[in-house]
Amino acid sequence: MIKAGIVGATGYAGAELVRLLAGHEQAQVIWYGSKSYVGEDFASIYKNARGFTREECKADDLEKMAEECDVIFTATPQGYLGSVLTEDILKKTKVIDLSADYRLSDIPTYEKWYGIEHKSPQLVEKAVYGLPELHRDDIKNTDLVANPGCYTTCSILTAYPLVAEGLIDPDTLIIDAASGTSGAGRGAKVPNLFCEVNENMKPYGVTSHRHTPEIEQELSLAADHQVVVNFTPHLAPMNRGILATEYASLVQSGGSFPAMDDIRAAYEKYYGNEYFIRILPAGEMPETRWVEGSNFVDIGFIIDERTHRVIMVGAIDNLVKGAAGQAVQNMNILFGMDEKTGLTGMPVFP
């Protein structure tokens, strides 16, 4: 049985990790880390956990956790793990970080977009970007996984095959994405109050959202040259979900533009054997309600013959495939298990 510890267990992503690991056949949480609720039963904070755990929350002590846990999940604000992680800890345990501290390979880019100094840049080269559908083999051989962001997971996976196959011009890529309010975390913030969010849609972080360089990093690898995208996130009046609508110009080849069959063939080439990616039938577009509570990614697409552009749409649950579910998927890979373990539940509806 894999012994897991969670730093930040009482945040939304941390609590989702608890929920998923409670149903995992080969892992159990032995350390519920929480700065705010030390000494309180986890199930008294998240009452859906009654009967599943009687453990008290403990202080965050990475050194001690490394001695007791086979894997540590860190669901913490940016900068935390970068300031406390050491090579000695990584010799004792595996770490899956849900923050952005090790996602970006370029340190100046991280410091520019996040506005903080990276305290352990020497560990960045040890980290693997934890998008299993793209980096599975590298994940198997690391002790430090940088779990991708929610917007980035959806945005990258939706466009990646078409970029990699040269079917679209990635420099024309525009991404509009909407997220449920759980993506902003559990902390009390006026913009996230019910009366501020309900019956409202709003863009934020326009031209400056911190997931932008993450998207550009991975799509640049696919294109084999530097890619720059326009990414605009929106807050939607729902608890969970990411819906990314992406637009790009098709690349003409041999006097003709790619057809729908060409687009589908590219998706099938990269994702045809991926359990968690569902390529939808022609003419069908994803909806967040059809992936809620699951680790699935739904992708649909259509060609606009008039403008010679393709519109791609992806949907995920931001707390599952966009955070905790993907972290469990990465854990399964790290320990040589079937990566679907603990993640095969059908999406919840309604």
3-state helix, strand, coil split of the chain in percent (to 5) is: 35, 20, 40
- pLDDT for 294 equals 98
> What pLDDT score was predicted for residue 310?
98
* Residues annotated catalytic, as ranges: 150
Contact 14, 8 (CB under 8 A): yes
Q: Is the pLDDT of residue 188 over 80?
A: no
Residue 112 predicted with pLDDT over 90: yes
The mean pLDDT of 119-129, rounded to a whole number, is 97
> What are the structural domains of the chain?
2-126 (3.40.50.720), 151-319 (3.30.360.10)
pLDDT tens-digit map of 225-284: 999 999 999 999 999 999 999 999 999 999 999 999 999 999 999 999 999 999 999 889
End-to-end, the C-alpha distance of the chain in Å comes to 34
Tokens of 75: 């669901």
CA–CA dist 83, 118 (Å, integer): 8
pLDDT at 195 over 80: yes
Output the six-digit token pair for 194. 């019910």
Residue 278 makes CB contacts below 8 A (sequence gap 6+) with 296, 297, 298, 299
Residue 145 contacts residue 330 (beta carbons within 8 Å): yes
Peptide bond into 350 cis (omega under 30): yes
Q: 10 Å Cβ neighbour count for 86?
A: 14
Q: How far is CA 265 from CA 11, 161, 301, in A?
A: 40, 9, 12
- Please tell me whether residue 250 adopts helix, strand or coil conformation: strand
Q: Is 172 helix (H, G, I), strand (E, B) or coil?
A: helix
pLDDT in the model for residue 344: 96
The count of other CB atoms within 10 Å of the CB of residue 50 is 12
Residues 144-180: pLDDT tens digits?
Answer: 999 999 999 999 999 999 999 999 999 999 999 999 9
Is residue 43 within 8 A of residue 52, CB to CB? The reply is yes
State the residue for tokens 């669901």: 75
Average per-residue pLDDT in the chain?
A: 96
At 93 the pLDDT is: 98
The pLDDT of residue 210 is 96
46-104 pLDDT, tens digit per residue, is 999 999 999 999 999 999 999 999 999 999 999 999 999 999 999 999 999 999 999 99
Instruction: Provide the pLDDT for residue 55.
Output: 94
What CA–CA distance (Å, rounded) separates 154 from 285? 14
**The model's pTM:** 0.96
